[in-house]
Structures are given as structure tokens and as C-alpha cells.
């Protein structure tokens, strides 16, 4: 075995214990809320058949799928035309499998494949990594976690209302106090293009107004003009997407504006129903805001659309989702409606970090380190160690033979809050030195006293 | 998007909510014990550079590594010789990355890459999937989880003793009551080949005696004869590897047999030290047995070797490990000693399943389902739902519009233990029908009474 450089592929990450503690804290907090609302976890394989994924994410998406080389003599099956093939044509012949690109397509595949064992409505959450051959940059990785919550087989808008509750409860439990859940409805967007008399241009329209946040109304106007809208369309559109006031007054105005579009009115009704459901639940911190410029993934969503932003940090959306009516059609099962949301775990991590919302306990595992100088002290201390662990106190003994100073450094590096130092004097008197690593304070205590103290801390 | 069959690659698995509940129960139980002993979690990327993995698992292992096709026009870099290349020669030119094959090599890579931020001894655990292009068969998958616990940078045999405690505590917490932790030492095996006068044949010797369990002593004898051992060697060997009695008497006999091998005596001493450490800890269920035929992964281990078997089910080893002195040498960092163990999570799953050791609570998420017939009942019930969740009771309301019988079926399918049925009568009297789904018993209770009852159950 030759020596080689220790490195990992670009765009991928190792997670150290501190990062894992924080990541697990986020995932555990989310999972607890998902379960409270009746969602259950599933996992799907890292590799899917390539043809399960191809064609689902557009041409650009297809280029970003990581393909896994067939095993064995994969060239044997390619035949003699090898020399004439280009990469893109060769890939499906030598790679039948690919890495999961998102959690949505595998979920659709799962629902169809297991339809006979699934009880509808099927409420599932899934937290797993996905892979994309994107150019890595700050905050964009080739391997990252997605965290999706979906229900299929229920048209009830109670689900939409509960997703708003889930966002509120999960993000509040993580310590966020100021965030908005923006809501819109694909049918309202359809209604707007209906009243403009341009139902065929709904995609151009929504792609443009989706950018309102970034490019302002002037930018939206320029884009619309380039897409064949005229100034009178834009005059008509401006008051609609710039509607201000609270949700109720926006909806009242919209009802008049979209009066001639049955689809638009249905969208308004759906928003009313969701907001009405919400009056039965108490939200902790979320502001629910109707945002008519919200359009994310329009071709996909068919009803309500959500997006979450916090005002406590400069960060894009930390979550989003919506209702889709034809998720499983691609796998031959039509007519199954679904609605779901996702949490942007990496962005949430960065926000909590910036706001110092990670508690020290998320990062520590060991509660107390026993430090000894020699073999006798070590032997003496083993029963202390054994007792602490019997009380479910996470404890370590640093094996003898290392200077106390270095052992203290180890405790500090590992965020261990307490140390017990056992020396000659301690063995004679039975009183051990008990040190608070944070304050530096130390006192002499018996093993029993230390145990009691630690139990009250944990 | 054309319709396609919903299928997954052979040798891979979906995990449904029930399986996930059980798997998480196993992993959570193990993690809790690992943390109690001071081990911290890390994760490494799914993809490693291909040259990080190649050459670490032998020629056969190299064939089983899943390689990931380079992105973009990967053939452009291959050059004109493409037509002349065979699969094996082409692979490294078109695939620079590969899927993790085990957790050991990535751990070694991690330790070297992050050596400046790691505090020694570094105690880590890691629970992640690995991939092998093996022929799938019953119990053998192409994607499966490994669960490794290792410490590097500490030569103390206290670590070995604590690993035995970890096995004992983790498997006992999972409900196993009858299992053995077999222990041996590579230095004892070296000592045996020393006293046979065949130090150069240690690998042949240990590969043969490692099979004692499977092929019996006659089989071992046949294999040794074919490898150049003579009958007098075998005469000398037989009483050694068939040594019976308790650990103390085996060690006493061994001391005499290996008296002329300093390495052998050192191995005996190490076993003594580990057993001596163990007298300070109370094992719950594990039997610790010196087994001189235990040799697993000999080329790898340099000190103590472990293997765990349960007597409650017919199953191979459910765990194993040992000390290795040169793990990180391949990445240029020599002299770092390590010792570690792993848990066979899939096998443990099968054992617990066979013994009915999974509790129902591992499989359920929702505690109570509220069933309503119409919209009025739904609206009435939302405040009940809200209150239950405020008490952290996992609760669902089945949206109105479905027959109660189907709602009951949903509760059963999802292992929901209680149901609340809200009808006309219930809304009038304020007493709800509260049903125990297991016994079928139902009674009329107020929302407050139900809440109290559920809180005492959880």
C-alpha cells in the first residue's frame, strides 16, 4: 500500500463530533415534531436505477446526476461501437444505477412500489443525503441532506394547516423567534394569468414575479415585456402582486380582481380554508403571510405553496413546499394527491450557529473525565468510573501515563464540563478533587457527593 | 415522462416505518452506550476518492468497490486509446470517486486529514451505510450499515476491557441475555507459530485454525498438511487449540506451552491485564471466553481480537474487532495505535426479531387517532387535537369524509394504540368515545380525562 494524500472529493464534507452533535440536535428536534403530527420515517436506497431518475429533473438536472459504473466487465455489453460513442450516449450503457438526486422521486417510486402495504393517507418523513454534480461553492455541496415531510392520499387542507404548525413548532423548538411562513396558491397564479387574458403565459408570468424579491418590480416589468406582455398587462398586474395589508384584506381585494376566474376563486377559497383551520391552533412565533409573488417550482405544485424565511439572519429560504397532484403518475399510479414541505438543514445549521442558538449540551457527550497520574490511582478510580456509569453518567477515565495538564486539555477540547482528579492525597482521605472545567473552581468531594452533584446536572 | 416500473437496484432495500422504528431503536440503544463511554460520532462522505480505497481490501475487494462515473464529458480525458482499453483499465480513467466500502479506511483517512484538530486519544463511533458489489443473497446486501467504535492514540488495555463492557451493556440493553465475547491475541498466535518453529507460516496456521468452528479439527488438520505442516506439528498444535477449562486454567497451560516465545508471553500478559481490568466492572450477561482458534482478519490485528456470538439464535458473529497498530500508516501517519469493535446491525436486527425482543413502542409513532365523520365533528375536534399536542402527545386527526371503519383500519395498520371517536352524541355531552385499539374496549371520557390517561401511558 503506497502512501497517499488524505483527501476527500470536492464538494463533500467530513462531520466532526461537534458538528455531528449540532446536526443531530437539529434532526432530532425536527423528528420529534414530525412524529407528534403522525409522520413516520422511511429510508430509500442511496442508489436508484438510472431510469428511475432520468428525465425527472429537466436536462440540466440530468447532467447533475451522479452515475454509478456497472460492476465487472461492463464494456463487454457495450459492443463494438464503443469508439463511436460520446460520453452522454455511453453513460446509460455502462451505468445502470445512480445516486439519489432528491427525496421526492424516490418517495414517489416508494409509494407505487409498496402501494399494497401502505395505508392511505401515508404520512412519511425522510432525512437522507442526496448528491448533485453541481459546481461546489460556499454553502453548496455535492453531498447534502434533505429533510422532507409529505402526506399522499389526502386532499384535506387540514394537512396544509398542520404543515404550517409543524414549521412553527419545529423552528420555535430550535430557538428561532422571528420567521415568516409565506403562502400562495398555484390556482391564484392561474387566476391572475386568466384575468390578464394570457392563460398560456402562466409560466413566463410566474417565473418573472417569483423574482420580485431579488430584482424589484422594475426588473419584473423588463422581463415581462421581453416575454410578450404589454404595458397594459403590466399596469393591470402591478396592483395585484404589490397588494399590501393583512391577509384578510389582500384576499378581499383578490376576490374582486379574480372574480371572473373560477380557478382563481378556488385558490382564494383554499387559502381561506387553511387560515381558518389555523385559528384552531396556537402558533408560537410564525407569521403566516399571503405572498402573491411566491411561485417556487410552479410546474410541480398544483395547490398551496409555502416558503419559510427568518428575519433573524440574512439567509434565503430555510424551507418550502406545496401540494402536487400527480407525483406518482410517472410510475403509473395516477390520481394520488400529495402535499409536503422540506427543511433546509444546512441553512438552518448556519442560522443557529450565527445566532448562537446551539446549546453546549448539543456538543458534549462525556460529562466527567477522571484524571489519574499512575497505575495505583487508575486501579483505585475504576470503581468510581463503574459507579458513575451505572448511574448513566457519561464518564471516561484517561488511562494513566499522561501529565494532568494534557488530560485537562483533552477535557477542554472535548467540551467535558467536569473533571475528577485522583492523586495520593485523594486515595488516603477518600475525598476526590472535583473540578468545574468552565469556571476552574475545584473542591474536595466524596465519590457519592460527586455522583449526586452530576445527577442533578444531567 | 414515460411510465416506468417502480423498482430498486438488486441488493438494496427500502425501509418502511416499522423497520425504521426498529432500526432506530437498535442504533439509539447502541449510541447511548457509546456516548456513556466517551465515544463521539463522526460521519464521512459517501464518496471517497477512488485511490483512497483501491488496494486496501485485496484484489477481490477492489472488484467489489462501486465506482462513480466522472461528470461531464469524461471520455474526452481518456484519449484515443479508448478502443484498446479493457473495463478494468478504463475504470480509473473515467471514475475518480467510489462509494465507501467500509468505515475503517475512511476513519484512517479522517484521522490523518484532521490530525491537527483531533485530541488524542480520539474516541469515535460511526454508523453509516457501506456499499459492496457482492452477489446479493439472503442476508447479504449491496448497501448495508456498519456500526464501528474505535479509539486511536491510546495503548492502554483499559480500552480493550471497556469494549467488552460496551458489548455487554449494549447487547443487554437490547434484551439479549446469553452471549459470549470471545477474546484472543494476535501475539499468542505468533507465539504458537514460534514454538512450532514455523514463524513464517503464521498466516497459513491462523487461516486454518480460524475455521475450527466450521470444519472441525480433522478439517483443520487436512488444511495444515496441505500447507506444509507435518504430523508432528499437528500433534503439538492439537492440545493448544483444543485447550479446555476456564480462562485462568487455559492461560496457565499456555504460559508453559509458550514459555520460549517472548511475543507469546506478552500476548498472554495482555489477556491477563484485560481480564484483570474487568474485575472492576460488573458485566450483566456477557461470558468472556479465551478462544485460541479466534483469528479474524489476522493481517490487520496486532493485539487483542474479539468476536461476539449469541447462544439464543443460530447466527454467525454479531460483532468483532481488535487492536491494530498501523491503521493510518497508509496515509503517511505511522505509529498510531488503535483498537475498535463493530456491531453487526442487520444480524442483531434479525436476532431481536426472531426472539420477539422488539417492543411495540419501537414501531409506533402516533399515540392516538381522532376519528370524525363530518365537518362539524372535525371542527369540534381540532381543539382536542391542539391540546393533546401541546402536552407532547403524538396525535392525528383523520380528515373528515371517510368511513369510521376505514379510519379504524388506518389506526391498526399504523399500530396506533388509542382512538377517540367524535360523533353527534359526543359533541352534545362533551364525553368522547375513547377506544383501546388493542383490547377493543371503549369508554366515554372527557377530553381532559383522555389527556390524563394518555400522559400516564407515555
What is the per-residue pLDDT across B339-394, written as a single tens digit (0 to 9) for each? 999 999 999 999 999 999 998 877 778 999 999 989 999 999 999 999 999 999 99
What is the tens place of the pLDDT at every residue in A325-372? 888 888 888 889 999 999 999 999 999 999 999 988 777 789 999 999
What is the reported pLDDT for A242?
Answer: 86
Q: Which three cell numbers stand for residue B265?
A: 508471553
What is the reported pLDDT for A298?
Answer: 59
Residue B206: pLDDT band by 50, 70, 90 thresholds? confident
pTM, rounded to two decimals: 0.95
With 60 as the cut, is the pLDDT of residue A309 above it? yes
Nearest to A394 among B38, B73, B382 (CB): B38
SS3 (DSSP) at B97: strand
Gap from B110 CA to chain A (nearest CA, Å)? 7
Asked if B282's CB is within 8 angstroms of A114's CB, the reply is no
| Pairwise CA distance, residues A127 & A125, whole Å | 7
> Chain A contacts of B76, Cβ < 8 Å?
87
Asked if A133's CB is within 8 angstroms of B35's CB, the reply is no
Residue pair A380/A387 in contact (Cβ under 8 Å)? The answer is no
Asked if A71's CB is within 8 angstroms of B133's CB, the reply is yes
Residue of chain A with shortest Cα separation from B365: A35
Could you give the percent of chain B with pLDDT greater than 90? 79
What is the reported pLDDT for B297?
Answer: 62
Residue of chain A with shortest Cα separation from B282: A386
Residue of chain A with shortest Cα separation from B96: A9
What is the reported pLDDT for A210?
Answer: 86
Contacts of B27 (CB under 8 A, 6+ apart): B127, B147, B345
In order of their start, the domains of chain A are 17-44+102-354 (3.30.930.10), 365-457 (3.40.50.800)
Asked if B143's CB is within 8 angstroms of A46's CB, the reply is yes
What is the reported pLDDT for B20?
Answer: 96
Residue pair B324/B338 in contact (Cβ under 8 Å)? The answer is yes
> Chain B contacts of A17, Cβ < 8 Å?
40-42, 124
What is the tens place of the pLDDT at every residue in B5-60? 899 999 999 999 999 999 999 999 999 999 999 999 999 999 999 999 998 888 88
Pairing status of strand B97-99 against strand B47-49: antiparallel
What is the reported pLDDT for B429?
Answer: 94
What is the reported pLDDT for A1?
Answer: 45
Residue of chain B with shortest Cα separation from A158: B399
Query: Phi-psi bin for B288: left (phi > 0), alpha (psi -120 to 50), beta?
Result: beta
Helices (H) and strands (E) in chain A, counts: 18, 16
The whole-number average pLDDT for the span B306-326 is 93
Q: Which three cell numbers stand for residue A335?
A: 390520481
Asked if A45's CB is within 8 angstroms of B8's CB, the reply is yes
Instruction: Point out the least confidently predicted range of A115-129, B78-92, B229-243.
Output: B78-92
Asked if B85's CB is within 8 angstroms of A365's CB, the reply is no
The whole-number average pLDDT for the span B205-211 is 87
Gap from A217 CA to chain B (nearest CA, Å)? 35
Nearest to A20 among B42, B71, B385 (CB): B42
Asked if B7's CB is within 8 angstroms of A49's CB, the reply is yes
What is the tens place of the pLDDT at every residue in A261-295? 999 999 999 999 999 999 999 999 999 999 998 98
Pairing status of strand B122-131 against strand B143-152: antiparallel
What is the tens place of the pLDDT at every residue in B182-198? 999 999 999 999 999 99
Q: Which residues pair with B43 in a beta bridge?
A: A15
| Pairwise CA distance, residues B411 & B416, whole Å | 5
Query: Phi-psi bin for A332: left (phi > 0), alpha (psi -120 to 50), beta?
Result: left
> Chain A contacts of B376, Cβ < 8 Å?
none
The whole-number average pLDDT for the span B76-100 is 84
Asked if B401's CB is within 8 angstroms of A156's CB, the reply is yes
Nearest to B45 among A9, A94, A113 (CB): A9
Mean pLDDT of chain A: 93
Asked if B8's CB is within 8 angstroms of A113's CB, the reply is yes
What is the tens place of the pLDDT at every residue in B365-380? 899 999 998 999 999 9
ipTM: 0.94
Residue of chain B with shortest Cα separation from A124: B17
Could you give the percent of chain B with pLDDT greater than 70? 97
Nearest Cα to Cα of residue A112 among A282, A281, A327 = A327
Asked if B49's CB is within 8 angstroms of A41's CB, the reply is no
Q: Does B207 or A84 have the greater pLDDT score?
A: B207
Residue pair A27/A127 in contact (Cβ under 8 Å)? The answer is yes
Nearest to A47 among B9, B36, B332 (CB): B9
Gap from B436 CA to chain A (nearest CA, Å)? 18
Asked if A6's CB is within 8 angstroms of B112's CB, the reply is yes
With 50 as the cut, is the pLDDT of residue B1 above it? no
Backbone angles phi, psi at A294, to 5 degrees: -80, 120
What is the reported pLDDT for A458?
Answer: 66
| Pairwise CA distance, residues A183 & A203, whole Å | 18
Give which of B1, B2, B3, B9 to mutate to test A binding, by max A Cβ within 10 Å: B9
With 90 as the cut, is the pLDDT of residue A154 above it? yes
Residue of chain B with shortest Cα separation from A385: B281
Beta strands in B132-283 (DSSP E): 143-152, 179-185
Angle, helix A202-209 to helix A212-226, in steps of 10 degrees: 140
Beta strands in A14-110 (DSSP E): 40-41, 47-49, 67-68, 97-99
> Chain A contacts of B68, Cβ < 8 Å?
66-69, 99
Could you give the percent of chain A with pLDDT greater than 70? 97
Query: Phi-psi bin for A392: left (phi > 0), alpha (psi -120 to 50), beta?
Result: left
| Pairwise CA distance, residues A325 & A302, whole Å | 6
Give which of A11, A24, A27, A38 to mutate to test B binding, by max B Cβ within 10 Å: A38
CA A328 to chain CA centroid, nearest Å: 22
With 60 as the cut, is the pLDDT of residue B175 above it? yes
Backbone angles phi, psi at A79, to 5 degrees: 90, -170
Gap from B81 CA to chain A (nearest CA, Å)? 9
Give which of A18, A54, A63, A68 to mutate to test B binding, by max B Cβ within 10 Å: A68
With 50 as the cut, is the pLDDT of residue B178 above it? yes
Gap from A427 CA to chain B (nearest CA, Å)? 17
What is the tens place of the pLDDT at every residue in B442-456? 999 999 999 999 999
SS3 (DSSP) at A375: helix
Asked if A129's CB is within 8 angstroms of B6's CB, the reply is no
Gap from B85 CA to chain A (nearest CA, Å)? 9
Asked if B40's CB is within 8 angstroms of A3's CB, the reply is no
Amino acid at each position: 500500500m503506497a502512501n497517499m494524500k488524505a483527501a476527500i472529493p470536492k464538494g463533500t464534507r467530513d462531520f466532526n463530533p461537534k458538528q455531528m452533535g449540532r446536526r443531530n440536535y437539529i434532526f432530532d428536534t425536527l423528528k420529534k415534531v414530525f412524529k407528534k403530527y403522525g409522520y413516520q420515517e422511511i429510508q430509500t436506497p442511496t442508489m436508484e436505477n438510472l431510469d428511475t431518475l432520468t428525465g425527472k429533473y429537466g436536462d440540466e438536472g440530468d447532467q447533475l446526476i451522479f452515475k454509478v459504473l456497472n460492476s465487472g466487465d461492463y464494456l463487454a455489453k457495450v459492443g463494438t461501437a464503443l469508439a463511436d460513442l460520446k460520453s452522454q450516449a455511453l453513460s446509460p450503457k455502462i451505468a445502470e444505477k445512480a445516486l439519489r438526486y432528491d427525496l421526492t422521486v424516490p418517495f414517489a417510486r416508494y409509494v407505487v412500489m409498496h402501494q399494497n402495504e401502505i395505508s392511505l393517507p401515508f404520512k412519511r418523513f425522510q432525512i437522507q443525503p442526496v448528491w448533485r454534480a453541481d459546481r461546489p461553492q460556499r454553502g453548496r455541496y455535492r453531498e447534502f441532506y434533505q429533510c422532507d415531510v409529505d402526506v399522499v392520499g389526502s386532499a384535506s387542507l387540514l394537512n396544509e394547516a398542520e404543515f404550517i404548525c409543524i414549521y412553527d413548532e419545529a423552528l420555535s423548538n430550535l430557538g428561532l423567534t422571528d420567521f415568516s411562513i409565506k403562502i400562495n396558491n398555484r390556482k391564484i397564479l392561474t387566476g391572475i394569468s386568466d384575468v390578464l387574458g394570457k392563460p398560456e403565459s402562466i409560466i413566463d408570468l410566474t417565473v418573472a414575479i417569483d423574482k420580485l424579491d431579488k430584482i424589484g418590480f422594475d426588473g419584473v416589468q423588463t422581463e415581462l415585456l421581453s416575454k410578450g406582455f404589454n404595458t397594459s398587462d403590466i399596469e393591470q398586474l402591478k396592483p395585484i402582486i404589490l397588494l399590501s395589508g393583512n391577509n384578510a384584506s389582500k384576499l378581499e381585494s383578490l376576490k374582486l380582481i379574480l372574480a371572473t376566474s373560477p380557478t382563481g376563486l378556488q385558490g382564494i377559497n383554499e387559502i381561506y380554508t387553511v387560515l381558518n383551520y389555523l385559528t384552531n391552533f396556537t402558533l408560537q412565533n410564525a407569521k403566516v403571510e399571503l405572498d402573491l409573488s411566491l411561485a417556487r417550482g410552479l410546474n410541480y405544485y398544483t395547490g398551496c405553496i409555502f416558503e419559510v424565511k427568518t428575519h433573524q439572519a440574512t439567509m434565503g429560504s430555510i424551507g418550502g413546499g406545496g401540494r402536487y397532484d400527480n407525483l406518482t403518475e410517472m410510475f403509473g399510479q395516477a390520481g394520488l394527491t400529495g402535499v409536503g414541505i422540506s427543511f433546509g438543514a444546512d441553512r438552518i445549521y448556519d442560522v443557529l450557529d450565527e445566532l448562537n442558538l446551539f446549546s453546549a449540551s448539543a456538543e458534549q457527550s462525556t460529562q466527567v473525565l477522571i484524571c489519574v497520574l499512575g497505575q495505583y490511582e487508575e486501579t483505585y478510580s475504576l470503581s468510581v468510573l463503574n459507579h458513575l456509569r451505572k448511574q448513566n453518567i457519561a464518564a471516561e477515565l484517561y488511562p494513566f501515563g499522561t501529565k494532568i495538564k494534557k488530560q485537562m486539555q483533552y477535557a477542554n477540547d472535548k467540551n467535558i464540563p467536569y473533571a475528577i482528579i485522583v492523586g495520593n492525597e485523594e486515595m488516603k482521605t477518600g475525598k476526590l478533587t472535583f473540578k468545574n472545567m468552565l469556571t476552574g473552581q475545584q473542591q474536595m468531594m466524596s465519590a457519592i457527593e460527586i455522583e449526586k452533584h452530576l445527577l442533578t446536572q444531567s
